[in-house]
Amino acid sequence: MIDLRNIPSDKEDLDSYEVEHNFQSWSYQPAQSPLRVVSAKGVRFTTDDGRERLDFSSCFVNHNIGHQDPRVIDAITEQARTLCAFAPSLSNKPRALLAKMLAEVTPGDLSRAFISLGGTEANEAAVKICHQFTGRRKMLTRYRSYHGGTATSMSLSAGDARGWFQVMGGTEMISVPQPYCYRCMFGQKYPECDLQCVKYIDEVIELEGGSEKVAGIICEPVTGANGIIVPPSEYFPRLREICDKWEILLITDEVMSGFGRTGKWFAVDHWDVVPDIMTLAKGLTSAYVPLGATVVRKHIGNRFKEQFFSHGATYAGHALACAAALAVIPIYQEDNLIENSAKMGKYLLDKALELKDKHPCVGDVRGLGLFVGLELVKNKKTREPIMPLAAKIRQGMNPKLEVAKKLGELGMMAMAANPSNVIAMAPPLIVTKDEIDEGIGIMDQALEVADAHTGD
């Protein structure tokens, strides 16, 4: 065995450890090490080639307040000196305070939280609560969703090619279409469609056994990785009514769309809808320490005073992570980041629409707040996708990865490796107009690579 305190760490050593010993997520294992990040500040990060780059996607839409905010680092350091963690059967101050803070910032009577380690875990807990509360097993989910990488949450991620490798686990799942107006599965146009996609859900619930068999439906309020799909404003109010009619639970996965990303605290706040269960992660701590939360409405939380709550984890309510969240959440308010997201988001959307006019490869532009997507097509008129869905899981390059590569060469990161044909731009909520201009300028150049794939 080598000297464990002195493992060789020159660049070539680190590169070889990456290639030989590390699993890279959602990909064929690379022959070369990915770029190594050495530091980050605000909306920028630096790689070990000494180059500073623009983070135009908040990494995975999680560094909402920007990188390395000293207020959060101080809070984490102080908590680490006091108490990093303890058994979840006992309380700690940050956990108690965070549970109260989440009840304050989430809408309606969402008021009891199971605090876990990330988005996937938050959704696993949500589904288990849904099953335990209703005593039913069937879950509705929507195509073009991503709810996480573990067995149940991956099974719920319908139509995401990464899920094709998954043996179904944990739940009986029925998939329904998204309100994806650019590619409506019913061949209709909004608003004449009268939201056929919601009517369809109503019918599916009835066919699947209604209140006797269906436990709930899980939705990203604004779909993230699978294409920045923004629903029409009536969609969630109508879905809420249908859930109430059938007495099934509405779970909204705000892992990406929460904490100011769309210009409100939570995306459902745009439509004044209160879900039965809301799942959170990413912006909850802005990624300084991993954390997730599953927040339920009062009557659901109260049920578990009489009924056994069958879920838990060693790191539930981890003190260090809760302390990070306690430092991050007030920053959204104190630094007016949610207002900035709404204002800069409008600017970013306008600029993205200019890219659509200019580039034959941009078929559609959609967004809400600092969450804006460019959908790439082969042909604007026919809307033929620039590549098939399966391209995500095929080896080698594809047009979107070529754009990602070009962005990297030009010194910027956007969300281009996700499963859809959409390149997402989601800079930290502290972004300025000048930084948006810079990012759009780089995107403008990179899109030329995709333009080369357009034609009849």
Only segment of 10-18, 106-114, 118-126, 353-361 that touches ligand PLP (CB under 6 A): 118-126
227 contacts ligand PLP (rule: CB under 6 A): no
SS (H, E, C) the chain: CCCCCCCCCCHHHHHHHHHHHCCCCCCCCCCCCCCCEEEEEECEEEECCCCEEEECCHHHHCCCCCECCHHHHHHHHHHHHHCCCCCCCCCCHHHHHHHHHHHHHCCCCEEEEEEECCHHHHHHHHHHHHHHHHCCCEEEEECCCCCCCCHHHHHCCCCCHHHHHCCCCCCEEEEECCCCHHHCCCCCCCCCCCCHHHHHHHHHHHHCCHHHHEEEEEECCCECCCCCECCCCCHHHHHHHHHHHHCCEEEEECCCCCCCCCCCCCHHHHHCCCCCEEEECHHHCCCCCCCEEEEEEHHHHHHHHHCCCCCCCCCCCCHHHHHHHHHHHHHHHHCCHHHHHHHHHHHHHHHHHHHHHHCCCEEEEEECCCCEEEEEEEECCCCEECCCHHHHHCCCCCHHHHHHHHHHHHCEECECCCCCCEEEECCCCCCCHHHHHHHHHHHHHHHHHHHCCCCC
Judged by CB under 6 A, the residue of 45, 56, 60, 265 near ligand PLP is 60
What is the footprint of ligand PLP within residues 298-357 (CB under 6 A)? none
CB of 31 to ligand PLP, least distance (A): 25
Q: How many residues bind ligand PLP (CB under 6 A)?
A: 15
Residue number of the CB atom closest to ligand PLP: 119
220 contacts ligand PLP (rule: CB under 6 A): yes
Q: Of the two residues 99 and 293, which places its CB atom closer to ligand PLP in the complex?
A: 293
CB of 125 to ligand PLP, least distance (A): 12
Q: Of the two residues 341 and 418, which places its CB atom closer to ligand PLP in the complex?
A: 418
154 contacts ligand PLP (rule: CB under 6 A): no
Q: Of the two residues 239 and 361, which places its CB atom closer to ligand PLP in the complex?
A: 239
Whether cis (ω within 30° of 0) applies to the bond prior to 221 is no
Only segment of 41-49, 88-96, 146-154, 337-345 that touches ligand PLP (CB under 6 A): 146-154
CB of 110 to ligand PLP, least distance (A): 17
147 contacts ligand PLP (rule: CB under 6 A): yes
Site string for ligand PLP, 175-214 (x = CB under 6 A): ----------------------------------------
CB of 257 to ligand PLP, least distance (A): 7
Q: Of the two residues 224 and 317, which places its CB atom closer to ligand PLP in the complex?
A: 224
CB of 283 to ligand PLP, least distance (A): 11
224 contacts ligand PLP (rule: CB under 6 A): yes
Q: Of the two residues 256 and 273, which places its CB atom closer to ligand PLP in the complex?
A: 256
Q: Of the two residues 328 and 442, which places its CB atom closer to ligand PLP in the complex?
A: 328
Rg (CA), the chain: 22
Site string for ligand PLP, 277-296 (x = CB under 6 A): ----x---------------
What is the footprint of ligand PLP within residues 228-267 (CB under 6 A)? 253, 255-256
Q: Of the two residues 120 and 141, which places its CB atom closer to ligand PLP in the complex?
A: 120
Q: Of the two residues 219 and 447, which places its CB atom closer to ligand PLP in the complex?
A: 219
Strand order in the sheet with 44-47: 37-41, 44-47, 52-55, 412-413
146 contacts ligand PLP (rule: CB under 6 A): yes
State how far the Cα of 24 lies from the Cα of 138, in Å rounded to an integer: 33
Q: Of the two residues 246 and 345, which places its CB atom closer to ligand PLP in the complex?
A: 345
Judged by CB under 6 A, the residue of 119, 260, 301, 369 near ligand PLP is 119
Only segment of 100-108, 114-122, 370-378, 401-409 that touches ligand PLP (CB under 6 A): 114-122
State how far the Cα of 357 lies from the Cα of 365, in Å rounded to an integer: 10
State how far the Cα of 301 lies from the Cα of 112, in Å rounded to an integer: 6
Q: Find where tokens 């939280």 sit.
A: 113
By the criterion CB under 6 A, which residues form the site for ligand PLP? 60, 118-120, 123, 146-148, 220, 224-225, 253, 255-256, 281
